[in-house]
Structure formats: C-alpha cells, structure tokens
Structure 1
Amino acid sequence: MSNDPGTVPSPESRIHGCLLGGALGDSLGYAVEFDPIDEIRRRFGAAGLRDFSALGGGTHFSDDTQMTLYTVDGIVEALEWANSGVGADANACVWLAYLRWLDTQGVPLPDSAPQPQPRWIDGQDVLRHRRDPGNACLSGLATGEMGTVFRPVNPDSKGCGTVMRSAPFGLVPHIPADSVYKLSTDAASLTHGHPSARQSAGVFSLLIHLLVQGASVPEAAQAALAHVLADPEAAPELHERLEAAIRLAGQAGPGTVLSPEELVRELGEGWVAEEALAVGLYAVLATAPGTQGDGAPDPADHFRAAIAVAINHSGDSDSTGSIAGNILGAYYGTACLPADWLAALEAPEVIRSMAGQLVAVTSG
C-alpha cells in the first residue's frame, strides 16, 4: 500500500483528508453505534450499512468529531502563541479547549476551574449539540483538575474517548515522533488515567504522524507496534490487540475479511481504547487494494470498503469508523473521500475551517 510518487498528497490535503475522513466514518458509524449486528442487518440488509444514501434523512457526527475539532483548536492556540514568540504549555491549551467543549455539553465547571476565553469554534452551533459524549470525558473535565500521568483523573478508565480525538497531534509537522507521542498521551491524561487509554492515544497519533511523513499504512502499523514492544511500561492488552489487528489483516484476501462476529471476537467491540484502535486499523489494512484481488488502487473504493468493515459490528461503531477514516485521510489525503459522502456530511464548512486553521499555523 504505497502512494504513487506522482500523486503524493500535500500536507494540506492530508490535514483536510484526516479530519474530513474521520468525520465521515464517525457520521456513518454514529447511525448504528448502539445497534447489535443483527439489528444493523435487519435495518440495512445482510451487508449492513454501507452508504449515506441508506439513511434517508442523513445523519450527524458525534462527540468524536466534536472533540477532535476541539483538539485541533487547542493545538492551533498553542501554535499561535509560539508563532508570535510566546511560549505556551500545549497541554494547557488543549485542556482549556476541552473545558470549552464541556461547556457546549451543558456541564457547568466548578469554581476552581479556569474560565477559558471564547474562540471561533465555540460559536459554531453544530458543535453545541450533545451527541452521546463519553462519561469519562465529561467527568474527568468536570473535576476542574488538570489531569496528568502523575495526578490522574479517572485512573481506572480506558474508554476509547482518548483515541478517537487524538489524530490531530499526528498532523503537526516538524516535530519528532517522540514529541507527538508525549503530546498525545499527556492530552489523554486530562480525562483518562488508565495506561492503555493514554498509550493507545499516543500510538494512534504516532501512526498518523508516520503516514503524514510518507510511510505506508503497513509500515506505520509495524512501527507503531515496534514502539509498543520497546516500551517496558506498555499495557499488555494494547500490544495484544495491535499485534492481532496486523496479523489478522495479513491473512485477509478476497472474501476473507473477518465477519462482524469474528471481528468482535478477535479484536473487541471498540468501547475501550486499544480495541477501538485495533478495529479501525484492521479495517484499513484488511481492505487495502491488492488484498481483495483487485487491480489498481482507487482511494475512494478503499475508503468505502474500510469504513464498512469498521462500522458494521456490535460495538462502538462511530469511534472505530472515525479512527479508520482518520487513517485513510492522513494517508491518501482528500483523494479518498467519496464526493457523494461529502455532500451528505454535516457542517463540512466547520471541519474545513478548523483544518484550514491548522494548515495556516503550521505552514508558515
């Protein structure tokens, strides 16, 4: 799975592709997030939900896209300060962004919490709807305490709310991979204290970083696994799920992609961090051009096929779909995004605006 040298996507295309791709996967998956696979098949047929056209009145994106965009906003604010010659704590900027997101969910902050200054993103009405936010994200922020690795909030929580929002850390250019990983794990600690929640987010951001640097998806996946293997403090369940996703995808061929039941049995439902990462990554790797006996790669076909695998299972379909969409968009850029899906996407102008802000502060 490699980009043709003549069609290597630009950094701008990768940023837009990653954010829009994640929103597409999130939106399609959100329509079936709480449905078991039997109900998905009853509603949409034996192949499950495969296209926005099957939804009739359309669908919304979830808290996954909301928090991803607020992650972008925190990064943008930190880089705005840096570009003006003022040092800023990047994780504090992300924390303040998440506190502003918490306000959009109708959760009051305690008096001990800082009162962040409003920014452009806060005025976008589409981001002020409550779309089934994760309990740990809400409760961790509502403490008013800035969680860290050493002073964790929700120390036993390892929900996928860390992974699904963490792609933007991998989109920041000109910083080393270790810094990407630290930025991501520090931000995960703001809401989740379990090592797997933090490390899964860091590995996902590292994977996105490697794709933006020009690696293929299999190369990036192997490098991410190597990072986990080299960490003596790595959560064993993260290693097990990541290794299983890569191994099982390597066994895929025409007609041999895991069934939804097999997917859940082998990799999990995606409600926790390492499972969501594994399912999203497996969906991308197992449906890559060449594995299905097809010819020349069509990025949009790959996108459609991968999202179908990522969302059609009994589990957290919006998060696994979002992760798969982030990966494909970072790899192919906007070339993989189906035009008819983009036409059905909620508030694409808000997502494009946030992508544009990240491009502006990283391309100077």
Structure 2
Amino acid sequence: MIGYLWINDAEAAARWVPLRANPNQGGWWDDRLDDAKARGLTPSEALIEMIRNPPGSSGVVPGSLTVAPHSAAVDDLAGYAPRERPWRASAAVLLGLAFGDAMGYPTEFMTMEQITAAFGPWHEMEMPLSSDGVVRVTDDTQMTLAVGEALAEITTSPRATGGAWGAAQSLAPAQVEAALRRHLVAWLHSPDNNRAPGQTCLNACAALERGIPWQDATVISSKGCGANMRVAPVALVPGLTAEQRSGIAQLQAAMTHGHPTALAASDLTAHAIWLLSHGCALDDLLTQLRLYALQSRRKYHGDWLGDLSRKAGAPDPATYIAFGWDECLSALDKVTEALRTPDRDMDPSRAVGAGWVAEEALATALYCLLVVHGYRRAPIQRGAHSSGDSDSIAALAGAFAGALNGPRFWPDEWTEVLEYRDRLLALGQLWD
C-alpha cells in the first residue's frame, strides 16, 4: 500500500494522498490526474480510467472503492495527524473580519474603474489609514463587537459552574435575547455609529429599544447582509453545542432581519467559520457547507425563534426556514460554478454576486477565499476590490481567512493601529 486517491465530482476535485511513511512514492498518480483533467474528464471518469488502466506497476486495490465523509478522513487513513483548532483562532477571526471591513470601507460605493484608479490592482491594495493614522472600520465590526460582547457577558458569569464552558452550555434563549437587545441598542446610540449603517438595523434596533417582542421589532421582509456580517462571534464561543450555535446564529439575525434567508445565511456563515477553525480543508469546505444546509433545511428552532414563522405569514415553520436554506444552496452552487473557471482578476461581485443580501455576501466571500486558496491577505484584498458591498464581503472573507490561517498571517503593524483593537483582542483572549 502506497497511498489513496480521492475524487469529488461535485467540486471537480481529485487528489493523490501518499502514505505518510512513503511520501515520495506514486507521483505518477498526480501526473495521471493532471492529464485526465487536461483531457476534460470528470474526476470519476479519471478514476474509472485509472482503475482499468493503472499506470506503471501500481494499481487500485480491487474492491477498495468507498465513500469518505471528507478529505481529512483520507489524510487520517494515510497517517497524517488531523489539524486541530489553531492557537488563538478567535483573535485571528475577529482581526481578519475587522481588517477586511477596513480595507473595503473606502471602496464600498465605487466602481471597479474607480477602485483601480485609487488603489491599483487588487493584489497591490494596502490597508487604508485615516488622517490620524488609525485603521477605521464600519458598522460591520461595530455590530460584531455588539454580538460578541453580549455573548461574553452571559458566558463569563462567576456563578456559572464549569467556567465559560459551563456557562455556554446552560445558555437559554431568553438570556441570549436580552443580552443581544441591550448591546444592539447600545450600538444604536453609540457616538461612533456614523459609518453609514443599514436602515434595517437602525429601524429594528429602535424598535427593540421600545421593549416590544423582538418578533415584532424585526423587519420581516429583509435579508440584508447586516444579518450575517456580525455573526462570527457565535462560531467562537467555547462550549456551545451545535444546536446552540445554530439557534444563536439565527436568533441574532432574526432580531433585525426576519427573512428566512437571513437566518439560514447567518447560520451557514457561522458554520463556515467553525469548520475552518477546526481544521476543515479548503477543498472540503463547500461540500461540508452544502451537507449542513441540506441537513438543516427543514429544522426550525422554535425555542430560539418563537412564532417568527407565523408572523412572517408562512404556512408552517418548516416551509418558512426551508425557503432560506434553498436560497443559500443556490448561492453555494454559484460559487461552485464560478470556481470551475476561476479568474482571480474578475470582479467577485460579477462572478458570484454583489453581496448586498445575506446569502450573496456569504457566497461572494467564500469565492474570495477559495479563488486565492486562502493565501495570506489575498482574500480581503480580493473582497475589497469589488463593485458590490465590498466592506461586508471583505469582512467575511477576512473572518474565513483568519479561521483558516490563525493570527500569524495578519501583520502586526495593522493590528497596532486598528480601531477597537483592545476590544477585539479581549474577546479573542477570552475565547482562546
């Protein structure tokens, strides 16, 4: 035995994984895969051809064809240690989100021609500094802090048994809703809330301040990206169950954006960050997200969402939430299609979507991450250099890149002058 071949037709992907003990054997399998791709074969067609006509003296063991849940399982079979959550992943995610937000801030309402004239090619973009030498962010980062600090407040109680983990596992929907309400209203009245915040967030937070049920305060018809631009902290709180992460991700979205797609896209965004920060390989990411969406498609979190589906006029809760997941699945399909013929120099908003709505912000940010293979600062540069909602796209791309790479990839000189640096790092320190 010298290694394994895996293929995935849905992502047009294939790879040779040699046994760790014999990493230099079997390179001809890579050559055969490359040749098959050049001839236009699908991965499964290539595998069938190699089973029937093995290269050289090697061959596929008869009867060994099977299904693996993800490529990490094949790495495990080959003897490679699984990646664990990177040290300080939380800090890396939050810093990445803020850096992307800051880089996309000045380009949000510019055309591609204007962006190129002002900042040069996308891969040469630098972090913009304000006149006082500070890296300024938008309401994307401000609202992320509101969500993060609300969760920190209720998971660090000294009375909680088991520390932060015990506090997280005992969270109740009413407790989370009350904390989110306090912090969102505080953001509404912050003197720093002058970065062109979305009207949906402003209206809903004003209604929340009046003390009415959040299901009446939310803007039922809105699925704007304000729902998921701020969800990253939900993926980072240690000790949450999968059910809690999903419920909280959807609740924090639903309190301002009541459309089912806003809920599903927020849930999926948090899950993407959680997957990447726990070692999901880039070549598995879209497959894992699609699987999660399919499994969640008709799961309505009644404990967290209450009667929101009824207020939205849906015939039943499952139908309500399924609509949102279906739109997210369609958005993932757009990413897959765009990556079949990847063009790093194409405007991401043209390749996938402008990102003004939640599922497009997620999809376009994923594209920005994947088209550059998650390398260093390239995901946020590519997201900021776009004709759509560039700050939100780049913010999510930065959160994904941080989850994938850890904090060492963000330049210290950026962190030192970042607005809200201390608050972001405090959350990172708490959760890491």
Common topology (TM > 0.5): yes
Q: Which amino acid aligns with 2:403?
A: A
Q: Does 1:70 align with 2:146?
A: yes
Residue in structure 1 matched with residue 330 of structure 2 by the alignment: 240
Question: Which of 351, 356, 361 in structure 1 is aligned with 2:429?
Answer: 356
Question: How far is the alpha carbon of 1:12 from its aligned partner?
Answer: 4.8
Bigger Rg, which one = 2
Equivalents in 2 of 1:54, 1:61: separation in Å? 10
Q: 1:165 to 1:82 in 2, by over 3 A?
A: farther
Question: How far is the alpha carbon of 1:63 from its aligned partner?
Answer: 0.8
Q: Does 1:23 align with 2:98?
A: yes
Residue in structure 2 matched with residue 259 of structure 1 by the alignment: 346
Q: Which amino acid aligns with 1:271?
A: W
Q: 1:191 to 1:92 in 2, by over 3 A?
A: farther
Deviations 1:156-187 (A, max 9, x none): 00100111100111112343333312220121
Corresponding residue SS for 2:391 = helix
Q: Does 1:39 align with 2:114?
A: yes
What number of residue pairs does the alignment pair up? 321
**Are the equivalent residues in 2 in contact too, given 1:9–1:332 (CA < 8 A)?**
no
Q: Which amino acid aligns with 1:139?
A: N
Deviations 1:66-116 (A, max 9, x none): 111111111112212486247553564355345334334338xxxxxxxxx
Q: 1:207 to 1:331 in 2, by over 3 A?
A: same
Q: Does 1:310 align with 2:392?
A: no
Equivalents in 2 of 1:54, 1:137: separation in Å? 27
How is 1:133-144 mapped onto 2 (pairs within 5 angstroms)? 133-144=197-208
Equivalents in 1 of 2:206, 2:283: separation in Å? 39
Question: How far is the alpha carbon of 1:216 from its aligned partner?
Answer: 1.8
**Are the equivalent residues in 2 in contact too, given 1:269–1:314 (CA < 8 A)?**
yes
Question: Which of 176, 189, 200 in structure 2 is aligned with 1:93?
Answer: 176
Q: Which amino acid aligns with 1:247?
A: E
Question: Which structure is higher in RCO with an 8 Å CA cutoff and minimum separation 6?
Answer: 1
Corresponding residue SS for 1:245 = helix
Please list every run of 5 or more consecutive structure 2 residues that lacks an aligned counterpart in the other structure: 1-70, 162-166, 299-321
Please list every run of 5 or more consecutive structure 1 residues that lacks an aligned counterpart in the other structure: 108-126, 290-301, 360-364
Residue in structure 2 matched with residue 147 of structure 1 by the alignment: 214
TM-score by length of structure 2 reads 0.67
When structure 1 is superposed on structure 2, of 21-30 and 243-252 the one drifting more is 243-252
Corresponding residue SS for 2:226 = coil
Deviations 1:115-134 (A, max 9, x none): xxxxxxxxxxxx83422222
Equivalents in 2 of 1:82, 1:269: separation in Å? 44
Q: 1:204 to 1:218 in 2, by over 3 A?
A: farther
Q: Which amino acid aligns with 2:192?
A: R
Q: Which amino acid aligns with 1:303?
A: R
Residue in structure 2 matched with residue 197 of structure 1 by the alignment: 262
Equivalents in 1 of 2:130, 2:120: separation in Å? 13
**Are the equivalent residues in 1 in contact too, given 2:151–2:179 (CA < 8 A)?**
no
Q: Does 1:278 align with 2:363?
A: yes
* Root-mean-square deviation (Å): 3.0
Question: How far is the alpha carbon of 1:41 from its aligned partner?
Answer: 1.7
Question: Which of 180, 184, 188 in structure 1 is aligned with 2:249?
Answer: 184
TM-score by length of structure 1 reads 0.78
When structure 1 is superposed on structure 2, of 42-51 and 166-175 the one drifting more is 42-51
When structure 1 is superposed on structure 2, of 340-349 and 62-71 the one drifting more is 340-349
Q: 1:271 to 1:82 in 2, by over 3 A?
A: farther
Q: Which amino acid aligns with 2:198?
A: G
Q: Which amino acid aligns with 1:201?
A: S
Percent identical residues: 28
Equivalents in 2 of 1:91, 1:128: separation in Å? 28
**Are the equivalent residues in 2 in contact too, given 1:200–1:277 (CA < 8 A)?**
yes
When structure 1 is superposed on structure 2, of 92-101 and 60-69 the one drifting more is 92-101
Equivalents in 1 of 2:108, 2:84: separation in Å? 31
Corresponding residue SS for 1:165 = coil
Residue in structure 2 matched with residue 332 of structure 1 by the alignment: 405
